[in-house]
């Protein structure tokens, strides 16, 4: 099998459209989201246990040996899917895999990572409308996820990472996808431009992840649809909270169809793909510098069921109660309460001091004249 392709990016970035396009190529099979990297990460580090990150070393296993076993387990699952489609190359598209790129890169050392970005206002508008995010929360999610993707992309380099923009795909589909095929090392296929017909012919469901229609053609009009959804105030909030990263990705705050060139300087030919090497060059020359520090992932997966969220909340509350019931915690709480009481003024002492102050002031008063 050829190099796996991992498609990453924020939710509502157009990653499903990109997945459908790639899956229409005669050599590439990318099915619906699997989220398998969550299971992979949990295997490498057992959740909710102090020794969870070293369990395999207790058996004399190295991380490299565990990675090889994980590759042998997960790889054939995707390979069988690709073979069933008559294709030689497999991939996966799951937005929250943006936070698992380092693990995936180690387990699959020949894999490539294709990130898709979309104008922050478009992503925010979709998240607020579909998943009931707040505007600030959605904007912060866009920023942190894209920073995480860029950080890993910079580390991976040009052979293993490339970034493509949704606006370039829908605005200039053929030249953009030709750039992409060149980078992937795949021959051009006209099927990429008619994914809706290919998906219909193979019997794909009409609606897939994110309620994306497999029958809808590429449509440039969707690039600026967010203008009818976000208020002027919302748009300003998005601009303030995403501005630095949005500018780095070449976005105009008010018009998603006006994207700056990421990779070349006129009169060089315009390219619509920023590889890891191009990212490094852009980052070195960018002013003011863009900090690509590890990000905190503070977002619940949007497709989690209400029942799952309720159960997790109950489990968290029960765990917190158990922690608080431990003797060492109770003793610590008791010490803090005693310290707090000791720091509060004694009410009786305050009253005595007040009386003394009043008596002293009355004794200093001059006698009244008769």
Output the CA torsion sign for 208, 210, 211, 214: negative
Give the CA angle between residues 210, 219, 251 to the nearest 5°: 85
pLDDT at 158 exceeding the cut of 60: yes
> Mean pLDDT over residues 167-186, rounded?
96
Q: How far apart are CA 19 and CA 194, in angstroms?
A: 13
β-pairing verdict for 89-93 and 28-30? parallel
pLDDT at 265: 58
Cα Rg of the chain, angstroms: 28
pLDDT above 60 for 367 = no
Q: Compute the distance between CA of residue 88 and CA of residue 107 in angstroms, rounded to an integer.
A: 20
Q: How far apart are CA 114 and CA 6, in angstroms?
A: 6
- Global pTM? 0.82
Residues present in the chain in total: 370
Exposure string for 161-188, b = 16+ CB within 10 A, e = fewer: bbbbbbbbbbbbbeebbebbbebbebee
The pLDDT tens digits of the residues spanning 67-87 come to 999 999 999 999 999 999 999
Of the pLDDT bands very low, low, confident and very high (cuts 50, 70, 90), residue 43 is very high
The 10s digit of each residue's pLDDT in 211-226 is 899 999 999 988 888 9
Q: Name the DSSP class of 287.
A: S
Q: Report whether the peptide linkage leading into residue 318 is cis, meaning its omega lies within 30 degrees of zero.
A: no
Q: Per-residue pLDDT for 368 more than 70?
A: no
Q: Which residue has the higher pLDDT, 272 or 252?
A: 252
Closest CA to 106 of 55, 62, 162, 58: 62
**256-266 confidence digits (pLDDT tens):** 888 988 876 55
- Residue 267 tokens read as 């009169």
Structure tokens, 27: 């050599």
On whether the CB atoms of residues 7 and 18 are closer than 8 A, the answer is: yes
Q: Which residues contact 246 (CB under 8 A, 6 or more apart)?
A: 119, 120, 239, 253
Distance CA 144, CA 86 (A): 38
**Confidence grade of residue 347 (pLDDT, cut at 50, 70, 90):** low
* pLDDT tens-digit map of 301-346: 556 677 777 887 887 788 778 777 777 667 777 777 776 666 656 6
Nearest to 9 by CA among 128, 133, 102, 146: 146
**C-alpha atoms less than 13 angstroms from C-alpha of 137 in its C-beta half-sphere:** 12
* pLDDT over threshold 60, residue 119: yes
What mean pLDDT is predicted for residues 269-293?
90
């Amino acid at each position: 099998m050829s190099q796996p392709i991992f498609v990453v990016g924020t939710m509502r970035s157009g990653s499903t459209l990109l997945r459908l396009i790639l899956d229409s190529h005669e050599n590439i099979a990318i099915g619906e989201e699997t989220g398998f990297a969550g299971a992979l990460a949990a295997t490498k580090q057992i959740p909710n246990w102090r020794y969870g990150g070293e369990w395999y070393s207790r058996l004399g296993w190295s991380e490299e040996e565990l990675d090889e076993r994980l590759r042998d387990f997960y790889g054939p699952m995707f390979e069988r899917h690709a073979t069933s489609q008559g294709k030689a190359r497999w991939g996966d598209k799951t937005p929250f895999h943006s936070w698992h790129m380092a693990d995936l890169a180690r387990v699959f050392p020949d894999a490539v990572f294709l990130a898709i970005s979309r104008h922050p206002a478009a992503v925010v508008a979709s998240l607020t409308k579909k998943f009931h995010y707040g505007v600030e929360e959605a904007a912060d999610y866009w920023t942190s996820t894209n920073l995480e993707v860029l950080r890993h992309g910079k580390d991976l380099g040009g052979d293993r990472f490339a970034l493509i923009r949704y606006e370039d795909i829908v605005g200039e589909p053929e030249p953009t996808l030709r750039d992409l095929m060149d980078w992937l090392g795949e021959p051009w296929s006209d099927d990429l431009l008619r994914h809706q017909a290919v998906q219909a012919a193979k019997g794909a469901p009409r609606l897939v992840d994110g309620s994306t229609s497999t029958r809808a053609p590429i449509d440039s009009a969707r690039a600026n649809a967010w203008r009818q959804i976000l208020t002027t105030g919302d748009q300003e909030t998005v601009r303030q909270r995403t501005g630095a990263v949005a500018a780095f990705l070449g976005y105009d705050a008010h018009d998603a169809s006006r994207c700056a060139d990421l990779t070349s300087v006129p009169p060089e030919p315009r390219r619509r793909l920023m590889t890891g090497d191009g990212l490094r060059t852009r980052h070195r020359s960018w002013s003011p510098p863009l900090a690509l520090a590890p990000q905190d992932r503070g977002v619940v997966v949007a497709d989690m069921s209400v029942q799952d969220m309720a159960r997790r909340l109950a489990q968290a509350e029960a765990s917190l109660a158990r922690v608080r019931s431990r003797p060492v915690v109770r003793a610590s709480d008791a010490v803090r309460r005693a310290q707090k009481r000791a720091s509060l003024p004694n009410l009786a002492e305050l009253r005595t001091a007040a009386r003394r102050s009043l008596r002293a002031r009355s004794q200093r008063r001059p006698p009244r004249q008769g």
